[in-house]
Amino acid sequence: MGTLNPWESPTVQTTFDGTHIHFQFAISRGYDGSDGPQGPPGEVTTMQLNSAINGTSSNSNAVNTLAMTVSDPPTVGEVQAIASNLDELILALRR
């Protein structure tokens, strides 16, 4: 075992001598720096990707702020309002 060419798939072999398991690895050499042929274009353009990323923070815009004053100690209704708003935020961020 040893080093393979960059285009060869790595392999692992195991042997057992009755006491120990021995692993033998063959790992591809790193890229040598020469340029290969141009690959096919990706599924999206950089502009499309940037546009999609820039719009992700707006997922939570529909979630209303609590705009409430919590009493000391808080009431069950106040705690429930906070929990409900948190659930709404979590669901909005999953979109």
pLDDT at position 31: 67
Task: Inform me whether the pLDDT recorded for 93 exceeds 90.
Answer: no
Position 85, amino acid: N
Provide the whole-model pTM.
Answer: 0.41
Where does residue 28 rank: exposed (0-12), middle (13-18), buried (19+ CB within 10 A)? middle
Task: Inform me whether the pLDDT recorded for 33 exceeds 70.
Answer: no
pLDDT at position 75: 95
pLDDT-derived band at 1, boundaries 50, 70, 90: low
Position 81, amino acid: A
Average pLDDT (17-38) is 79
Q: What is the tens place of the pLDDT at every residue in 35-47? A: 677 777 777 788 8
Count Cα neighbours of 40 within 13 Å in the Cβ-side half-sphere. 3
